[in-house]
């Protein structure tokens, strides 16, 4: 059996109290848990920046039309879960033509019943049956 002197016990308690206080005062992981995904190709270029919760996302999207072909382009996000199911959110149509610059959507929120593993931006051109997926951003909180 190891016995601690009275001073050793006091030093251990003071050190433990200081460590807990440092954690309480420090920046929480949630405050800095955000990421950006980009998807650029011949038809559309866009990005999304979102802040993570374990079951929420909040952030913004922006996109522009890269090709003057009279077809609309869209941007949205795909949210990945730990059960290998992915959900695509609302697709936002870029209102400006190819010479108009970027459209932006701000204050976007995603709430989920399941824990969010990560997200990626998805873009689409009108008339195509497929999406272009941007880089995957992992949720550091899960």
Q: Is residue 1 part of a domain?
A: no
**CATH classification of the domain holding 97:** 2.60.40
pLDDT digits (tens, 9 = 90+) for 60-80: 999 999 988 889 999 999 999
**Residue 103 CA: distances (Å) to CA of 14, 40, 46:** 55, 14, 9
Q: How confident is the model at residue 139 (pLDDT cuts 50, 70, 90)?
A: very high
pTM, whole model, 2 decimals?
A: 0.76
pLDDT digits (tens, 9 = 90+) for 83-128: 999 999 999 999 988 878 899 999 999 999 999 999 999 999 999 8
Q: Is residue 16 part of a domain?
A: no
Q: How many domains are contained in the chain?
A: 1
Q: Is residue 122 part of a domain?
A: yes
Q: Is residue 23 part of a domain?
A: no
> What are the backbone dihedrals phi and psi of residue 63, each rounded to the nearest 5 degrees, phi first?
-160, 160
Q: Give the residue numbers spanning the domain of 134.
A: 29-138
């Amino acid at each position: 059996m190891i016995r601690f002197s009275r001073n050793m016990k006091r030093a251990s308690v003071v050190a433990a109290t200081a460590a807990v206080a440092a954690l309480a005062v420090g920046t929480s992981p949630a405050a800095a848990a955000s990421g950006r995904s980009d998807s650029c190709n011949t038809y559309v270029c866009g990005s999304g920046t979102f802040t993570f919760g374990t079951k929420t996302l909040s952030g913004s999207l922006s996109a522009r039309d890269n090709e003057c072909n009279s077809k609309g382009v869209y941007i949205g996000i795909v949210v990945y879960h730990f059960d290998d199911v992915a959900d695509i959110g609302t697709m936002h149509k870029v209102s400006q033509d190819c010479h108009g610059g970027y459209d932006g959507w701000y204050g976007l929120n995603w709430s989920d019943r399941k824990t969010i593993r990560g997200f990626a931006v998805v873009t689409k051109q009108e008339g195509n049956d497929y999406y272009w997926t941007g880089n995957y951003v992992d949720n550091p909180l899960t």
